[in-house]
Chains A and B, each alone.
Chain A
């Protein structure tokens, strides 16, 4: 195997690895892309020399194929490394549809306290069949998508007579959603905890909900050593900032608690988010790799 074939094969292999192990920061590093482009240049310069030394037309075709394959794969890899955006995670509320430019619509499955999320997130694209996203990777052109399970909190609010009340999230991703996505973080006693907030407009209450794992609850909360499930601490405020008695309470295991003039119930469930990772274009990489491999096999068969 000479320098020409080694350089071309290395380029193709590097770009295939970028797809197989997508999302690594090294692919966006300047030195990595300079090396990739340098290898392509080496392959093309060496191909030119080999081309004129080749003994037959078939060998010349094989050399052109290898050089073109290295250039195509290298272009796909460098383009992804230099121009592609960083990985992004899309967190959607149940039933929400998020339009993502150049990708399509991410449709998040419906869920409620009675029926936790059934089904998976679906990617809807023009001219494509809907793609169900799972935890394993799904290729969508220049992007690789996978779902990540996250903990979310389903809340139910009632007045003290038991009548159900509307929950709104004026600052959330879905205004009329009783599912808290817990995207914010707060440090309490040195422990980093997810939290979210919601409103109960009929009762003029603003509620902050902080989520604890059983271990965190046992460690931080007085008298909570018997908690075996994830717990949610509710802190209730009046919209008009009037003082409230009994305004903080812990709901664990889906049990309702009376707090700040409300009856609140929290259920912690798993719900998928979608991670979108840029990767070299699969079609261009496949074409480039096939040309490199086909050309090398051709050269070997021709005895070159």
Chain B
């Protein structure tokens, strides 16, 4: 048997052994989630209502950078973060950035009263079935997810952000346009 044939057989045997054995060196175990694990994926679009009862969805925001902030009225860090979100909305009014507050699981009246008490002018959506909270793998509230103009998740944050942190997250997207 020639040396070439022997080497070929050895290579095929090694290839088959690798194919068969390789997957078992790492057992199937779940990786940790969190909103940041969804970066690069398209944001899901759910039909929701806003705090005034109008039908809303991400379909109406094509071509815009969207900052989705998941919040609830009982959450103190959400309350602390809201004025900075309002400031961000005002600072980027002309840049095509949309700020959307997504209330998780509460009634429209409660959400509207909370937003009014803080002078919030950006849209407040009511996610009564907590679908965005589940699909964004929120680890807590608030959770902030930033979508690019194609509706793809580009940044995701667990916990309250300051205005400076929000600004540094959205500025590169604004400059890219």
Contacts and interface: CB of A to CB of B under 8 A. Distances in A.
Interface of A: 72, 75-76, 79-80, 83-85, 88, 90, 93-103, 110, 112-114, 141-143, 162-167, 174-178, 201-202, 276, 278, 280-281, 283-284, 287
A176 B37 contact: no
27 contacts: A72-B16, A75-B17, A80-B20, A95-B134, A97-B37, A99-B31, A100-B30, A102-B23, A103-B28, A113-B129, A162-B107, A163-B107, A164-B107, A166-B72, A166-B74, A166-B106, A167-B130, A174-B133, A174-B134, A175-B138, A175-B140, A176-B134, A176-B138, A178-B105, A202-B106, A280-B20, A284-B19
Interface of B: 16-17, 19-21, 23-31, 33, 37-38, 44, 70, 72-75, 104-107, 109-110, 128-131, 133-135, 137-141
B137 A97 contact: yes
Contact of B74 (A143, A202, A278): A202
Name the residue in B20, B21, B75, B137 with the highest tally of chain A Cβ atoms < 10 Å from its Cβ.
Answer: B20
A136 to B, nearest CB: 20
Contacts of B74: 166, 201-202
B105 A176 contact: yes
Contact of A163 (B21, B33, B106, B133): B106
Contacts, number: 126
Nearest to A177: B134
Contacts of A114: 129
A85 B128 contact: no
A37 to B, nearest CB: 14
Given A101-B28, A167-B105, A177 B130 contact: yes
A114 B48 CA distance: 13
Complex A-B, nearest 6 residue pairs according to Cβ-Cβ distance, in ascending order: A176-B133, A166-B105, A95-B134, A83-B24, A85-B27, A202-B74
A276 B133 contact: no
Contacts of A177: 130, 133-134
Nearest to A170: B140
B133 to A, nearest CB: 3
Q: Which of A80, A93, A95, A201 has the most CB of B within 10 A?
A: A95
Nearest to B133: A176
A177 to B, nearest CB: 5
Given A166-B74, A201-B75, A99 B137 contact: no
Contact of B110 (A100, A102, A110, A163): A163
